[in-house]
Amino acid sequence: MTSVGATVKEPGNSVKNKTGSWRTFKPILDKEKCIDCGNCILFCPEGCINKDYDIDYDYCKGCGICAEECPVEAIKMERE
């Protein structure tokens, strides 16, 4: 069944779709090196890095922006 007008009434329910499966390269953060600049959090297209710099691999598509934008190279991209 399709809802009337195909309206979706569960806000943000796309979390059901785990886009982590798209990933080829996985970002690994070395928290020792991290200087808490927030770049990776801001620039993540998925918004899947939290304030404690935990990367949610359920959604990370492995684009590598976080590693690219890390000013201290604390994130390495590793082949899965």
Partner 1 sequence: MNMIKVISANRAIAEAVKMCKPEVVPVFPITPQTTISEYLAQFVADGDLRAEYIMVESEHSSISAAVGASGAGVRTFTATSSQGLALMHEILFVAAGMRTPIVMGNANRALSAPLSIWNDQQDSISERDTGWMQFFAENAQEALDFVIQAYKISEDHEVLLPSMVCVDGFILTHTVEPVDIPSQEDVDKFLPPYEPISYLDPKDPMSLGTFTDPDYYMEARHDMEVAMEGAKDIIRRVNKEFEEVFGRKYNLVEKYKTEDAEIILVAMGSICGTIKTVIDRLREKGEKVGLLKVISYRPFPQEDIYEAVKGARRIAVLDKNISFGIGGVLFNEIKAKMDVDASGFILGLGGREVSPDDIIGIVEKTRNPTTETNQINWIGLKEEE
Partner 2 sequence: MDIPEKEFLAPGHRACAGCGATIGVRLALKMLGENTVAVSATGCLEVITTPYPETSWKIPWIHVAFENAGAVASGVEKALKAQGKDDVTVVAFAGDGGTADIGLQSLSGAMERGHNLIYICYDNEAYMNTGVQRSGATPYGASTTTSPHGKESFGENKPKKNIPMIMAAHGVPYVATASISYPEDFMKKVQKAKEIEGPAYIHLHQPCTTGWGYDPSKTIELGRLAVETGSWLLYEIEEGEFKITYRPLERKPVNVYLEAQKRFKHLADEEKEKIQNYVDQVCAELKI
- Tokens of residue 53, six digits: 């710099």
Question: Residue 76's closest CA among 17, 56, 67?
Answer: 67
Q: Does 6 bind partner 1 (CB under 8 A)?
A: yes
Kind plus residue range of the DSSP H or E element containing 27:
strand 25-29
Shortest separation between residue 50's beta carbon and partner 2, angstroms: 8
Site for partner 1 in 9-68 (CB under 8 A): 9, 11
- Tokens of residue 12, six digits: 């943000």
- Tokens of residue 11, six digits: 């806000």
Binding mask 14-43 for partner 2 (x = CB under 8 A): xxxxxx--xx--------------x---xx
Rounded to an integer, what distance in angstroms lies between the CA atom of residue 74 and that of residue 35? 9
List of residues contacting partner 2 (CB under 8 A)? 2-3, 6, 8, 10-19, 22-23, 38, 42-48, 51, 56, 58-59, 61-65, 67-69, 77
List of residues contacting partner 1 (CB under 8 A)? 1-2, 4-9, 11
